[in-house]
Amino acid sequence: MIEVRGLSKSFKEVRAVQDVSFNVAPGECFALLGPNGAGKSTTIKMLITMLSPDSGDALVNGFSLKEEPARIRESIGYVPQSLSVDGTLTGLENLTIFGKLYGLSKAQLKERVPQILEMLDLTEAAHRPVAHYSGGMVRRLEIGQSILHRPAVVFLDEPTTGLDPVARNALWGHIRELRKEYGMTLLMTTHYMEEAQVLCDRIAIMDKGRIEVMGTLKELRKKARKPRATMDELFVHFVGPSESDEQGGLANVKRSRRIAQRLG
């Protein structure tokens, strides 16, 4: 469903992504992990056509990143780190507006909006302004917006950042339900190693713009020669603990705190 072939991207002297290649099978949940500045977000932004690669190409749902970006945008959903809902509108209104932007007919909206609200446990809150939603509810609504048009692939950029453990576990359940209900292919980034271990079929760990290692949890443990290692332990093994604490700087701290604040 996703075929990445030698993607590279630089910003002046900084090589953010260097010759990255990987495949994601239909219906798979694939995690892209790495310390701050590893190149995860840049890779995602190229795959959703927000950035043009300097070299390489990718196929998303069979469409070329370089030759058919509009077709890619039609066939994907994207849940960004930044806020993508309007707090002055109700949940129902947010979903309806997104559905219209996706080109859904009145009949499709009438059918799908209630389905999404019910699936994500938002029916009772559908007519309340989103400004009064909890952080978990906001995130569920953003996921609902991204799947209204039944995309083949959904990109989740740190979907549970800023959520408390209860809300995070609830969102995990909804993500599992999406895969079961629609068979969607998911590509996600996260800083929660347990999240990747619980949700994802395969995991790629990036560092300094490159993929250091990739595979199932069992395969990663085998490569590290640590048969009982957790994802936290594997992450430290393949990336190391030192530089990851230094990357990102003040801008990253501010971004993380803004996300945590808006999600309550």
CA pair distance 182, 152, nearest whole angstrom: 9
Task: Classify burial at 183, counting beta carbons within 10 Å of its beta carbon; exposed 0-12, middle 13-18, buried 19 or more.
Answer: exposed
Q: Residue 245's pLDDT is what?
A: 46
Contact criterion met (CB below 8 Å) for 200 and 29: yes
In terms of Cα–Cα distance, which of 121, 135, 146, 153 is closest to 47?
153
Diameter of the chain measured on Cα atoms: 56
Q: Residue 81's pLDDT is what?
A: 83
Domain ranges of the chain: 2-75+152-215
The set of residues, in sequence order, having a beta carbon less than 8 Å from that of 91 and lying 6+ positions away, is 117, 122, 125, 126, 127, 128, 130, 133, 137, 141
| Average pLDDT for runs of 10 along the chain of length 264 | 97 94 96 93 95 96 95 93 91 96 95 94 96 93 94 92 86 88 92 93 96 97 96 94 50 54 53
Q: Residue 167's pLDDT is what?
A: 86
Which tokens in the block code for residue 100? 């219209």
Beta bridge partners of 55: 8
| Residues comprising the chain, all counted | 264
Strand blocks (E) in 80-229: 153-157, 185-189, 202-207, 210-215
Contact criterion met (CB below 8 Å) for 37 and 207: no
Contact criterion met (CB below 8 Å) for 30 and 241: no
Strand blocks (E) in the chain: 2-11, 14-24, 29-33, 55-60, 63-64, 76-79, 153-157, 185-189, 202-207, 210-215
- CATH of the structural domain 2-75+152-215, one choice from 3.40.50.1970, 3.40.50.300, 3.40.50.2300, 3.40.50.620: 3.40.50.300
* Distance, CA of 175 to chain centre: 11
Q: What is the DSSP letter of 123?
A: S
